[in-house]
Amino acid sequence: MAKKSIPILVSIFLLLFASLSHSTSEIFKDYIYQPGTLKSIDSKPRLKVGDKAPDFTLPSISGEKISLSQYRWKKNVVISFVPAAWTPVCSDQWPGYNLAKDIFDEHSAILLGITEDNIPTLYAWTKPMGDLWFPVLSDFWPHGQVAKKYGVLRSTGVSERALFIVDKKGIIRYIDVHDINKRPPLEDLVRELEKLRN
């Protein structure tokens, strides 16, 4: 029995002492809410590589409605789910993708950024990030319907930090449901985009 309890105690210990670093841009000053260390993944996969990507239509902060299917046969699509506006890692993820536009262009890819926040919140949060070249979409209502279809809706109503690559045929070519507390390295995304060229 004592042996069985060791993993549980180790887990408790790690949860108590896990210290995950991240840097925060001064542009957000003290407006970033610190949720602490969260359970790394809190959803069950519904899709796998090779599946047809479920279509969706969502409102964007520009006022336009964006559908996944509008890019069919035109662009590869990177879908970036981030958990929530005004939180540490999320606030430092899309500005990097904004800088890396050339990489997306080189791979004939568009980025769709999705969170479960409403449009006004997303608008205010992304404003200091500068002019984002990609659509920022709200999966707020019906709450989390797209995240649910993609199997990345957490029990708390936010999404996982997840990346999906959908090719021009609408087929899922890459899934990374990442540890919510960490930012996925750009290297991984570029490596997978590179595979689409083959």
Partner 1 sequence: MKKLSFLLFVFIAANFSILAFHVYAAKEPPAPPAEGSPLPVMKLPVPEKPEEKNYLGLKDEGTFTIPQIMAKVVIIEIFSMYCPYCQKEAPTVNELYNAIENNPDLRCKIKIIGIGAGNTPMEVDVFRKKYQIAFPLFPDVDYSIHKVCGEVRTPYFIGVKIDENSTNEVIYSKLGSIQDANQFLELIIKLSGLKKEGP
Nearest distance in Å: CB 144, partner 1: 25
Distance CA 22, CA 35 (A): 13
Which lies closer to partner 1 via its Cβ, residue 95 or residue 170? Answer: 95
- Residue 95 belongs to what H/E stretch? helix 94-99
Which lies closer to partner 1 via its Cβ, residue 6 or residue 44? Answer: 6
CA angle 44/119/123 to nearest 5° reads 115
Binding site for partner 1 (CB under 8 A): 1-2, 5, 9, 12-13, 16-17, 21-27, 92-93, 95-96, 98-100, 102-103, 128-130, 183, 185-187, 190
Query: Nearest-CA neighbor of 38 among 89, 101, 92, 100?
Result: 89
Nearest distance in Å: CB 58, partner 1: 24
Q: Tell me which of 66, 77, 89, 90 is the catalytic residue.
A: 90
Distance CA 166, CA 47 (A): 12
Which lies closer to partner 1 via its Cβ, residue 29 or residue 44? Answer: 29
Answer yes or no: 163 catalytic.
no
Query: Nearest-CA neighbor of 69 among 197, 169, 193?
Result: 169
User: Which sequence positions are flagged as catalytic?
Assistant: 90
